[in-house]
Structure 1
Amino acid sequence: MAIINLDNYLQLLKQYVDTQDEKVLYQAEQFSKHSMQHNISPEEIIDVHIKALKQLYPQLPKEIDYSLDFLLEAMISYGLAYQEFTSLRESQSEIKSEISVAADMQQTLLSTVKPAIKGLEIGAISVPANQMNGDYYHFVEGTEGVLGVAIADVIGKGIPAALSMSMIKYSMDSYPEDQRIPSIILENLNRVVERNVDPSMFITMFYALYNPNTERLIYASAGHEPGFYYNAAENQFEEIKAKGIVLGVSKDAKYEQYERVVEAGDVIILLTDGVTECRIGDRFIEREEVLEVIEQYIHLPAQQAVKQVFKHFERLQDFQLRDDFTLIMLRRDV
């Protein structure tokens, strides 16, 4: 541990008191840098300064003496607080670095390829509010061009959410194709989540299969945010309603399966609550307002449409997302 040389400091202080020479101030600056490099605390510098001052002026008024004692005590408290602050800042820097690595890993683990499906146009966007994304979407291409689509949201954020999503993805990928029926997928995943995820954390999920040969969509939901179906011929939206309890609540949960025909030009819109619960100031946007925004861009190519919808909501929130934003559009070709 470095110790301040009192004689050197005394000489430097006397020289400046006598001359007020700026060159001496430069030497003082170098002394400060040296002290910082050797982890000399502010109170140690003050203590040496007081000792040097008393040697130079042994007859200091007692009021000055008291004030110097006061300054020393104040700097001791300051030094302790500064050490705590420095330690906290270093810890935060380490955590930030770890989260950055985890976010990159999450992006790699949860990456999905948007497949080319005959007669279907696909648009998808997912933007995290923070570094880690609590939303997830995934495409699975089966035989004869059948498309599996998953969209999910973890009730709980950060690294645990990312790990849960990774588990969901790899569980899904492990199922054989004949078991990728929406209701069965959700029942299997529910058991995985119930056994392996902390009870305080739940996952909502919507899973659908689109068959381009029959133009049929079959789907099931585990408490996920209802999507929308756009009827192009009538230029109208309707809610895609599907009942089902969130994953991880009950190991014996069953999920009802639904089916509908997708007409030419119609659009299936899947999303998370980061879209429907967008906030403008202190007010949550209404679902009707969400549809008004989507309607503005629904006639664009699907990928362009989801990007424009995101940009619209991003502007509404002054470019400060309060929740993860995920939006998928599937349009059957005319």
Structure 2
Amino acid sequence: MNKPYKILVVDDEPDLEPLMLQRMRRHIRAGRYSFVFARNGLEALDRLNEEGNIDMVLSDINMPQMDGLTLLEQIPKVDPNIRSVIISAYGDMKNIRTAMNRGAFDFVTKPVDFKDLQITIERTLAHMMEWREALSYRDKLVSIQNELEVASRIQQSILPSEFPDDLRYQVYGNMEPARDVGGDFFDIMLLDEGQIGLAIADVSDKGVPAALFMMSCRTLLKGVAIGLTDPGAVLGEVNDLLHEDNETMLFVTVLYAVYNPATGEFTYASGGHDAPLLIRSDGTVSLLPLTDGIALGVAPELEYKQHKIELSPGDTVVLYTDGVTEAQNTDGSAFQVDGLHQIFAGSSSYLKAREGTDLVFEKVREFMGEASQFDDITCLTLHRDT
């Protein structure tokens, strides 16, 4: 059962208290109202501080020691969410206007019509509840916004800020977060024998849980990649580690590749992630074959197959998340993989890694127009120079 609304009645007339209790007895018995009484504004302030949880103040204007108009100025200092109703002499518009200017929600006139008073009380309480609900929503929105800001900082903190400087190849990545922080990330790892590891991933869900899961995934991926050379084995090990104690039931799609600049070998494995785009030096564009692995964190002891190709000088590989292919325009149409094909079809071998990544973002934004971005857009491009 809900607690009764607590109403503070402030009036120096001694007969008002028994009369109020008698006329409102049905609502008191029903547990709708409970009443607290004070003889003047000073007593009312004491009651407000002593009682707590006062929902509404019903106050006369003319009282000794502190009048009702002065009391109206003091009430917000105790609790700005309390709603006040003034009892005024009939036709006293000057005091009524002053009371309304000082924060009174409504007024009733003397002699008090208790039926009208009860209607006024209900209207005032309804407004108060709507106000409190609005404040609750505001607090929740502030909390959500704070959470998203934390998640955004986590997300940005793990992205590479510097890229390898090597005459044999170029690599460049970028991530543009959506309004609601998702779980995209990319990473570049310097491995033994001059090889590099390239990872791009998309965590399910949004907010702080996704950001924390993303950080765990990135840390595990980096740690495992140092000790294992095969991308398939790396994904298998990371999957088992993520699945342990995965109380949040989150998962992550990952494409992890190892590039050997000395030979041009590009070996990759996919855990439920989109197929990379290969742009040959002659402008031919194709999707690399998928390796049929499922997202990491779903089930333990999974096997992840890997595939190997050889990049020739001038070739480019583009890794991306579904924020690229599923970006929508104002008509609701998606960019799709065809959009990626069209970006690079006939591209020159002189298209460098940063140019390729920047071109993806440029064309996706151009396609979206005024449409909102609902998912992170992430792209990581590798280009072989020699």
TM-score bracket relative to the smaller structure = 0.7 to 0.9
Aligned AA (2:265):
R
Higher relative contact order (CA 8 A, sep 6+): 1
1:125-144 correspondence to structure 2 within 5 Å: 125-144=174-193
Task: Find the counterpart in structure 1 of residue 359 from structure 2.
Answer: 308
- The residue that corresponds to 1:239 in the other structure is 287
8 A Cα contact 1:266 1:332, kept in partner: yes
Does residue 323 of structure 2 align to residue 274 of structure 1? yes
Question: Is the contact between residue 133 and residue 157 of structure 1 (CA under 8 Å) also seen in structure 2?
Answer: yes
Question: Aligned partners of 2:132, 2:264: CA distance in 1, in Å?
Answer: 66
Pairwise CA distance, 1:167? 1.0
Question: Structure 2 CA distance, aligned partners of 1:310 and 1:58?
Answer: 70
AA of the residue aligned to 1:36: P
Query: Which residue identity is paired with 1:236?
Result: T
Deviations 1:18-71 (A, max 9, x none): xxxxxxxxxx8x987654343255642x2x2xx2135966469x7xx8556433
Equivalence for 1:22: none
Counterpart in the other structure of 1:321: 373
Deviations for 1:278-302, whole angstroms, at most 9, x for unmatched residues? 2223222332223213448775432
Q: Structure 1: which 5+ residue stretches go unaligned?
A: 14-27
DSSP-derived class of the 2:299 partner: coil
The SS at the match of 2:270 is strand
Moved more, 246-255 or 221-230: 246-255
* Aligned twin of 1:21: none
Q: State the partner residue of 2:60.
A: 6
Offset of 1:139 from its aligned partner? 0.3
Larger mean CA deviation between 267-276 and 287-296 belongs to: 287-296
Equivalent pair of 1:42/1:76 in contact (CA under 8 Å): no
TM-score, structure 2 normalization? 0.71
Any gaps of 5 or more consecutive residues in structure 2? 1-47, 50-56, 93-108
| CA distance in structure 1 between the partners assigned to 2:332 and 2:216 by the alignment | 35
- Distance apart, 1:161 and its partner CA: 1.5
Q: Output the aligned Cα RMSD.
A: 3.2
Q: How many residues align?
A: 311
Which of the pair is proportionally richer in helix? 1
Which residue of 2 is the match for residue 330 of structure 1? 382
Tell me the residue number matched to 1:115.
Answer: 164
Counterpart-to-counterpart distance in 2, 1:112 and 1:256: 31
What SS does the aligned partner of 2:143 have? helix
Partner residue in 1 for 2:333: 283
When the two structures are superposed, what TM-score results if normalisation uses the length of structure 1? Answer: 0.81
The question of whether the paired residues in 1 share the 8 Å contact of 2:173 and 2:354 is answered with yes
Name 2:52's counterpart in structure 1: none
Could you tell which deviates more after superposition, 224-233 or 246-255? 246-255
Moved more, 125-134 or 210-219: 125-134
1:16 is matched with: none
Question: In the TM superposition, what are the counterparts of 1:145-224 in structure 2 within 5 Å?
Answer: 145-175=194-224, 177-198=226-247, 200-224=249-273
Q: Which amino acid aligns with 2:79?
A: N
Q: Go from structure 1 to structure 2 and tell me whether the alpha carbon gap of 1:268 and 1:154 turns closer, same or farther (over 3 Å shift).
A: same
Greater mean alpha carbon deviation, residues 218-227 or residues 141-150: 141-150
Higher mean C-alpha displacement, 316-325 vs 188-197: 316-325
- 1:95 Cα deviation (Å)? 3.3
Q: 1:286 to 1:91 in 2, by over 3 A?
A: closer
Shift of 1:327: 0.8
For residue 76 of structure 2, the aligned residue among 36, 43, 61 is 36
Tell me which amino acid in the other structure corresponds to 1:306. Answer: T
Distance change >3 Å, CA 160–CA 263, structure 1 → 2:
same
Asked if the contact 2:316–2:353 (Cα under 8 Å) also holds between the matched residues in 1, the reply is: no
Q: Distance in 2 between matches of 1:6 and 1:82?
A: 24
Q: Is the 8 A contact 1:118 1:145 kept in 2?
A: no
Distance 1:127 1:71, change over 3 A: same
Q: Deviations over 1:132-189 (max 9, x none)?
A: 2311111001234211001111122222221111111211232363413201101101
Deviates more, 1:260-269 or 1:111-120: 111-120
* One-letter identity of the residue aligned with 2:215: S
Provide the C-alpha distance between the structure 2 equivalents of 1:175 and 1:112, rounded to a whole number of angstroms. Answer: 22
Q: 1:35 to 1:270 in 2, by over 3 A?
A: same
Give the conservation status (yes or no) of the 8 Å contact 1:110–1:165: no
How far 1:93 sits from its partner (Å)?
1.2
The CA deviation at 1:309 is: 2.0
1:94 to 2:134 alignment: no
Aligned to 1:293: 343
Residues 9 and 78 (structure 1 numbering): CA distance in 2 closer, same or farther, change over 3 Å?
Answer: farther
**Residue type at the aligned position of 1:323:** D
Q: CA 1:319–1:8 in structure 2 vs 1: closer, same or farther (change >3 Å)?
A: farther
| 8 Å Cα contact 1:9/1:52 also seen in 2 | no
Structure number, greater radius of gyration: 2
Change in 2 beyond 3 A, CA 1:269/1:197? same
The 3 A distance-change label for structure 1 pair 7 and 303 is: same
Return closer, same or farther for 1:114/1:238 CA change in 2, 3 Å cut-off.
Answer: same
